[in-house]
Amino acid sequence: MKYAYSVFLGFFTVALGATASAELTLQSDYPGGNIIVEKRTPASVALRQDYHTSSRWWFYWNFEATAAPGEIVTFNFTDGKVIGTRGPAVSLDRGLTWRWLGSGTVDTEKRLTSFRYTFPKGGEPVRFAFAPPYQVSHLDRFLDTVSGNPVLRVDQLCQSKAQRDVPRIRISTPDTTPQHRIFITARHHACESMAGYVLEGIVAALLDDSEDGTWLRDHAELMAIPFVDVDGVEQGEQGKYRSPRDHGRDYAGEAIYNSTRAIRETVPPWADGRLHLALDLHCPHIRGNYNEFIYQVGQEDPAIWKEQQRFATLLAAVPDKALPYAASNDLPFGQAWNSGKNYTQGIPMARWAADIPGVRLATTIEIPYANVGDVTVTTEKARAFGATLVTAMRHYLESLDE
């Protein structure tokens, strides 16, 4: 998974007595990094994503490159169409903030497998990824900005197999028994980074002094697990289709992962009949139908599907949504990929949560990586969509009291 390699592209001028800074360096030895470099020429690199921990092809990659100031390098991917509708994501601050490079950096035919980049004049390292990553360090930074808030508690759900803490976020007003409980998860599939930004936006909105935040803190308690597959997230693994089964299918039979086992053991007693809303955040495939709009994955149980449709109406009605959403895009059970065939390895969190006594709405929401229709998904918009979801959650829980 980790890769470090460097080569001299240019020359050094003996007459000047110094080396020209013409070295192209590629590496992925940092949290989330993932690349295999196959071949290079002075102005191009052939490379591919590493998905050896999974049973199927996927499109997760993330690497850092440093080149001579102003150097133009073409990156050619050799294993499938791994560049999304807005081109690669680029970071000039070592992964802290990201923007889309755009899809116009190579000719049309190759733009799903290749991009060209002009390195900055300052010679600083540049990170590239198929979508803006959201690592544990991103969550830590966010939590630093809200620490000290008396309703917020952050502890550990458990330790992962690689001895990482699996963080758990709780928001509850001290010394009160909430009317409602809310359980939210993300990153059952490690690569689904935009879900991380949405979850951060949900937590921020719940702590906010807004009408929705205040109502929810007065009436509800949140438990959220932002990285169900924290090892995959930090080790730069896609996590989707992880062998022998992925975290998103580990809710039937005996759990094989520490985090899913801990969720299955601790959430039902915590629920205590008041867990009314369970939400699992995901990102879909890289592009194409069902991958360029936001939608709920319909459950087989008609009573739960009916609640999903009620939630859909409330979500669609939120004014000034950060990203567009239409209830008609939701995917009923039995259609497209959402059939029994997709769940032969096991069942996902939302399907499991639907059976916890008291649960009314148990749903999965898919948030695209790069675009929702014509709207580009940025990290800011993904965060803001978290606030949109919070408004809809408030209206949903209020409707249960009516």
Min separation Cβ 357 and Zn ion, Å: 26
Min separation Cβ 63 and Zn ion, Å: 22
Measure the CA–CA gap between 121 and 109, rounded to whole angstroms: 29
Q: Give the residue with the Cβ less far from Zn ion, 188 or 276.
A: 188
Min separation Cβ 191 and Zn ion, Å: 8
Min separation Cβ 282 and Zn ion, Å: 3
Q: Give the residue with the Cβ less far from Zn ion, 282 or 351.
A: 282
180 by Cβ neighbours in 10 Å (0-12 / 13-18 / 19+) ranks as: buried
Write the DSSP symbol of residue 361. E
99 backbone dihedrals φ, ψ, rounded to 5°: -135, 160
Q: Give the residue with the Cβ less far from Zn ion, 201 or 284.
A: 284
Identity at 46, one-letter amino acid code: A
Q: Give the residue with the Cβ less far from Zn ion, 34 or 66.
A: 34
Min separation Cβ 192 and Zn ion, Å: 5
- From 37-45, 274-282, 372-380, 383-391, give the range in contact with Zn ion by CB under 5 A: 274-282
Q: Give the residue with the Cβ less far from Zn ion, 60 or 63.
A: 60
Min separation Cβ 286 and Zn ion, Å: 12
Find tokens 């139908």 and name the residue.
Answer: 289
Q: Which tokens belong to 356?
A: 């916890």
- From 105-113, 128-136, 276-284, 308-316, give the range in contact with Zn ion by CB under 5 A: 276-284
**Counting contacts by CB under 5 A, is residue 249 touching Zn ion?**
no
Give the count of alpha carbons within 13 A of 307, CB side only. 24
6 backbone dihedrals φ, ψ, rounded to 5°: -145, 155
46 by Cβ neighbours in 10 Å (0-12 / 13-18 / 19+) ranks as: middle
The site for Zn ion, by CB under 5 A, has a size of 3
**Counting contacts by CB under 5 A, is residue 242 touching Zn ion?**
no
Measure the CA–CA gap between 224 and 218, rounded to whole angstroms: 18
**Counting contacts by CB under 5 A, is residue 282 touching Zn ion?**
yes
Q: Give the residue with the Cβ less far from Zn ion, 48 or 189.
A: 189
Q: Which tokens belong to 18?
A: 């110094």
* Among candidate residues 299, 298, 300, the one with its CA nearest the CA of residue 290: 298
Q: Give the residue with the Cβ less far from Zn ion, 75 or 241.
A: 241
Straight-line distance from the first to the last Cα atom of the chain, in angstroms, rounded to the nearest whole number: 53
Q: Give the residue with the Cβ less far from Zn ion, 33 or 239.
A: 239
Min separation Cβ 240 and Zn ion, Å: 6
Looking at 60-104, which runs of residues are DSSP E strands? Answer: 62-66, 72-77, 89-91, 99-100
Q: Give the residue with the Cβ less far from Zn ion, 71 or 330.
A: 330
Residues numbered 192 to 221 that lie near Zn ion (CB under 5 A) are 192
Min separation Cβ 333 and Zn ion, Å: 17
- From 227-235, 282-290, 302-310, 326-334, give the range in contact with Zn ion by CB under 5 A: 282-290
Measure the CA–CA gap between 292 and 193, rounded to whole angstroms: 15
- Interface characters, 168-197, with Zn ion (x: CB under 5 A): ---------------------x--x-----
Measure the CA–CA gap between 264 and 255, rounded to whole angstroms: 8
Cα Rg of the chain (Å, integer): 22
What residues have CB less than 8 Å from 208, skipping those under 6 apart?
Answer: 387
- From 20-28, 52-60, 162-170, 281-289, give the range in contact with Zn ion by CB under 5 A: 281-289
Q: Which tokens belong to 230?
A: 């924290």
Min separation Cβ 60 and Zn ion, Å: 12
Contacts with Zn ion, residue ranges (CB under 5 A): 189, 192, 282
